[in-house]
Amino acid sequence: MDESLIEIRDYTGAGYQPLIDYASWRVAVMRYSDPYAPEKIERVERHVETDEVFVLLAGQVTLFVGDGETRPERLVPQAMEPLKLYNVKQKVWHTILFSRDASVLIVENRDTGPHNTQFAALTPEQRGLVVETALRNGM
């Protein structure tokens, strides 16, 4: 196909991969990778300039979201359902828990990155919640 008419992209690797950038937006795919193993999830992030949209394509995924100024005061798990859009609002702390066969579509601002993202460590209790959620859901 002539790429001046249509871009066709796919991704079957592990982790996060931007696939299409245009003007101010980006579409990416994220899949399970070792840093997202339940026992390795030690922090959350938040984007200070934008919302971020997640769509479950395959497998099981739980989004964890939290509010708080310098770190999440509470962490709330949200099991994702296939093909529903989950819009994590600007400045909301979040992390994601994947089953090994999971695949998530992400839509975000093209310039989302470390310069406009903040990170915070999870408390031992919050890390326990992530691991407990994974065990309960067979992830």
Residues with Cβ within 8 Å of residue 117, at least 6 apart in sequence: 45, 46, 47, 48
Question: In the chain, how many domains are there?
Answer: 1
Q: What is the pLDDT of residues 66-108, one digit of tens each?
A: 999 999 999 999 999 999 999 999 999 999 999 999 999 999 9
pLDDT for residue 136 = 94
Listed in sequence order, the DSSP H helices in the chain are 124-136
Residues 59-75, buried b or exposed e (16+ Cβ, 10 A)? bbbbbbbbeeeebbeeb
Predicted model pTM: 0.88
Angle at 135 between CA 32 and CA 54, to 5 degrees: 40
The domain spanning residue 73 has which CATH number?
Answer: 2.60.120.10
6 located within any domain: no
Boundaries of domain holding 36: 16-136
Q: What is the pLDDT of residues 15-54, one digit of tens each?
A: 888 888 888 999 999 999 998 899 999 999 999 999 999 9
7 located within any domain: no
4 located within any domain: no
119 located within any domain: yes
pLDDT for residue 55 = 97
